[in-house]
Amino acid sequence: MRIGRIGGRLSLLTEDRALDVEKASGGRFSADPDGIYEHWGEFTQWARGRSLDDATPFGPQQVGPPVQRPAQIFGIGLNYQAHVSEAGVRPQITAPAVFTKFVTSIAGPYDTVTLPSNRVDWEVELVAVMGRRAYRVAERDAWNHVAGLTVGQDLSERTVQLEGPVPQFSLGKSYPGFSPIGPAVVTVEEFDNPDDLALSCSLDGEVLQDGRTRDLIFSVPELINRISAILPLLPGDIIFTGTPSGVGMARDPERYLPPGATLTSTVEGIGTLSNHLVAAPHMSGIA
Ligand code: ZN
């Protein structure tokens, strides 16, 4: 099952058609895509096997982020060994590096993103969406708490992130538009192996990152186990699970996103984000 935000309303999706959930359910479920995770068990029972014959075509301009106001957004740093190495981090990673991306950074899968500086970097990531409250959850039970998976870009302004006495991951990764997600949430049972998905990103067709989620140091179940040992994950919360190697900061010379280009980000079995990049007004002339 695929769900998304079409024209601002919760919809069941095929590749190019959408069924409005509130209308199809006779008002049993709200049109608000953010509210559905509180009723996830009941909703999936209703939705599974439902005919999509009445679904209607939609275009990319109607598609918003599948989740827009999660209570909590978790980001994970340094979660692929090849990315740890390119980042020059020496000590062995013994616990996930957790930060937040503030909710106002969420954007839609096809939204234009404004670059606040000439040091904005790309990080394609698998994003997990929680379907049940998870507190002190064992790894073997963790997937049962996930509603589905989506694609994310953890855009990062490296100067804000890294300057100062201690790094400011959460601020450097939370400019408006810095968390595009979508185009759909795909439920876990749709994947042959949700722990091994190809993910990649490209800039105007040039491949920048190309990895597989089997190379995560801490898998989705391990992350839920580790985070939920400390605090409860809530329905609708999202986890950016970390990025594979190939980021711009680690290149020689360093490389960052240019205004005028289009960044595409893909996860196998889910879909592709396509975000056009523009300069902030004070950046004019930098391109
Ligand atoms: Zn990241």
Measured in Å, residue 155 CA sits from the centre of ligand 1 at 7
Measured in Å, residue 76 CA sits from the centre of ligand 1 at 6
Identify the CA nearest to 131 among candidates 45, 200, 56: 45
Q: Given its phi and psi angles, is residue 26 left (phi above 0), alpha (psi -120 to 50 degrees) or beta?
A: left
Measured in Å, residue 66 CA sits from the centre of ligand 1 at 19
CB 133 within 8 A of CB 41: no
Torsion of CA 110, 115, 120, 124, to 10 degrees: -10
Measured in Å, residue 58 CA sits from the centre of ligand 1 at 30
Can you name the residues that pair with 80 across neighbouring β-strands?
A: 216
CATH superfamily of 73-279: Fumarylacetoacetase-like, C-terminal domain (3.90.850.10)
Measured in Å, residue 122 CA sits from the centre of ligand 1 at 8
Measured in Å, residue 220 CA sits from the centre of ligand 1 at 14
- b (16+ CB within 10 A) / e for 149-179: bbbbbbbbbbebbeeeeeebbbbbbbbebbb
Measured in Å, residue 101 CA sits from the centre of ligand 1 at 10
Measured in Å, residue 264 CA sits from the centre of ligand 1 at 16
Measured in Å, residue 99 CA sits from the centre of ligand 1 at 9
Measured in Å, residue 227 CA sits from the centre of ligand 1 at 16
For residues 20 and 189, what is the distance between their CA atoms, to the nearest angstrom? 22
- Mind listing the pLDDT tens digit of every residue in the chain (287 residues)? 999 999 999 999 998 999 999 999 999 999 999 999 999 999 999 999 899 999 999 999 999 999 999 999 999 999 999 999 999 998 899 999 999 999 999 999 999 999 999 999 999 999 999 999 999 999 999 999 999 999 999 999 999 999 989 999 999 999 999 999 999 999 999 999 999 999 999 999 999 999 999 999 999 999 999 999 999 999 999 999 999 999 999 999 999 999 999 999 999 999 999 999 999 988 754 44
pTM recorded for the entire structure: 0.97
Q: What is the pLDDT of residue 287?
A: 42
Measured in Å, residue 12 CA sits from the centre of ligand 1 at 28
Domain boundaries, the chain: 2-64, 73-279
Measured in Å, residue 247 CA sits from the centre of ligand 1 at 10
Q: What is the pLDDT of residue 11?
A: 98
Q: What is the pLDDT of residue 91?
A: 87
